[in-house]
Structure 1
């Protein structure tokens, strides 16, 4: 098999393409022939070493959290999947940048026939993150208003659509080139963060989904109504500031959940959710794919095609 390996933390030049023995599934695992893997910001943060204090990993490791492909073999205790099944999943914190992987089947969902492997690989982490942020942590309800930062990115794109499906009034922040795109996803308002201070345009929202952190998060407290919720995927909100504003701040790590992913996959299959692929790279081009993600302004998802 071929896999991207990281032997030392650092820049993207720390990533190399290696030939390895095919993994063998344990009794409770499945072996997947990977067709595509998605690129997520967590990937390059891990490769750089920025996350090593929180996510210690033995070196070398293979990056990647999202994969889609075909089951080749199953462990003797696995009854939910069989060879030939097409699947997708948020497989864990590393491992997806390879053309063979072993995975806990509880992390997987069957790939909807309507989705290509490229689209399926782009679905799990972003869509699970958006759903859990909005519904499990943000407690979003019909008729509420939500401000979504970085609305054109992978998680943001899914969140805009899911919030709209929930009956919320959706406001997104994005670059001017992504205005029409974010509107097409269901946002009622799109704020150009280059030209406008969102804190002067938005007020009394029920929920803020912070996918940026830093000063964007700090300025988001003021737009919430009393009792509102700020949910961040990137950094822990300041509890003191939240208490002072009489709002709640939450930070969470996405949970891999096969059944939840299957339900979200059904929304994709029905056409209620759609995936936008920003760009596709081959496995040997993984460093270029991560550089694309690191550069920001990605519309939707960057994907590695194992057959390219």
Structure 2
């Protein structure tokens, strides 16, 4: 098999494509022939070393949390999947940037036939994060209002659609060029964060989904109604600010969940959700893909094509 290797923390241009032995699935695992893997901000944060105090990893390692492909071997305890099944999943914190990977079967969902592998790889981590933020931590209900910062990115795109499906009034912030895109996903209102101050445009929302952090999070307390909730995927909310705003602040790490992913995949299969893939790179250009993600302003997702590297 071939896999991207991180031999030392630092710039993505130091990544290399190495030839490794095929992994062997454990009792509760499956071996996947990877067709595609998606790029997430956590990937370049891990590669840079910014997360090593929180996520210590032995070097070298293979980055990547999302994969889609075909099962080619199963562990002895695995009964829900078999050889030949096409699957997708948030596989863990590393390992997806490879042509083959072992994954716990419970982390995987079957890929709907109507989705290609590129789209399927782009869905798991972003959509699971959006679902858990809105429903498990934000307790979003029909008729409520939600402000989503970073609404054009991978998580934001999924969150806008899931909030719309939940019957919420959705306000999205992003750069002006993404206005039509965010509204097309289901946002009722759009705010260009470069041109407008959202804190002067919005008031009394039930939920803020913070995908940006920093000053954006700090200003978001002022737009919440008493009893509202701020959920952040990027930084722990300030408890003192939450108290002042008579609101609740929550921060969480995304949970891999095969059955929940099956439900989200079904929404994509039915056309109720869609995923936008901005760019596709061959696996051996993973460094370029990470640089694009790190630069910010990606609309939707960036995906790596693992099949292009099997003969490279």
**Superposition pairs of residues 59-78 of structure 1, within 5 angstroms:** 59-78=59-78
CA RMSD of aligned residues (A): 0.5
Question: How far, CA to CA, are the matches of 2:28 and 2:180 in structure 1?
Answer: 46
Question: How far, CA to CA, are the matches of 1:114 and 1:207 in structure 2?
Answer: 33
Question: How far, CA to CA, are the matches of 1:215 and 1:16 in structure 2?
Answer: 36
Which residue of the partner structure matches residue 52 of structure 2?
Answer: 52
Which residue of the partner structure matches residue 93 of structure 2?
Answer: 93
Question: How far, CA to CA, are the matches of 1:14 and 1:50 in structure 2?
Answer: 16
Which residue of the partner structure matches residue 191 of structure 2?
Answer: 191
Which residue of the partner structure matches residue 177 of structure 1?
Answer: 177
Which residue of the partner structure matches residue 241 of structure 2?
Answer: 241
Q: What is the CA deviation profile of residues 16-73 of structure 1, one whole-angstrom value per residue up to 9, with x for unaligned ones? A: 1100011111121100000000000000000000000110111110000000000000
Which residue of the partner structure matches residue 226 of structure 2?
Answer: 226
Classify the secondary structure of the residue corresponding to 2:170: strand
Question: How far, CA to CA, are the matches of 2:217 and 2:176 in structure 1?
Answer: 20
Which residue of the partner structure matches residue 288 of structure 1?
Answer: 288
Classify the secondary structure of the residue corresponding to 2:281: strand
Classify the secondary structure of the residue corresponding to 2:172: strand
Which residue of the partner structure matches residue 106 of structure 1?
Answer: 106
Q: CA deviation at 1:204?
A: 0.2
Question: How far, CA to CA, are the matches of 1:129 and 1:25 in structure 2?
Answer: 27
Question: How far, CA to CA, are the matches of 2:307 and 2:15 in structure 1?
Answer: 19
Q: What is the CA deviation profile of residues 167-195 of structure 1, one whole-angstrom value per residue up to 9, with x for unaligned ones? A: 00000001111000000000000000001
Which residue of the partner structure matches residue 160 of structure 1?
Answer: 160
Classify the secondary structure of the residue corresponding to 2:140: coil
**Structure 2 unmatched ranges of 5 or more:** none
Which residue of the partner structure matches residue 251 of structure 2?
Answer: 251
Equivalent pair of 2:147/2:171 in contact (CA under 8 Å): yes
Which residue of the partner structure matches residue 6 of structure 1?
Answer: 6
Q: Give the number of aligned pairs.
A: 308
Classify the secondary structure of the residue corresponding to 1:103: strand
**Structure 1 unmatched ranges of 5 or more:** none
Classify the secondary structure of the residue corresponding to 1:206: strand
Question: How far, CA to CA, are the matches of 1:188 and 1:239 in structure 2?
Answer: 30
Question: How far, CA to CA, are the matches of 2:148 and 2:40 in structure 1?
Answer: 18
Q: CA deviation at 1:14?
A: 2.7
Post-superposition, which runs of at least 4 consecutive aligned residues in structure 1 deviate over 4 A? none
Which residue of the partner structure matches residue 82 of structure 1?
Answer: 82
The normalised TM-score by structure 2 is 0.98
Classify the secondary structure of the residue corresponding to 2:220: helix
Which residue of the partner structure matches residue 268 of structure 2?
Answer: 268
Equivalent pair of 2:99/2:307 in contact (CA under 8 Å): no
Q: CA deviation at 1:148?
A: 0.2
Question: How far, CA to CA, are the matches of 1:298 and 1:16 in structure 2?
Answer: 24
Classify the secondary structure of the residue corresponding to 2:287: helix
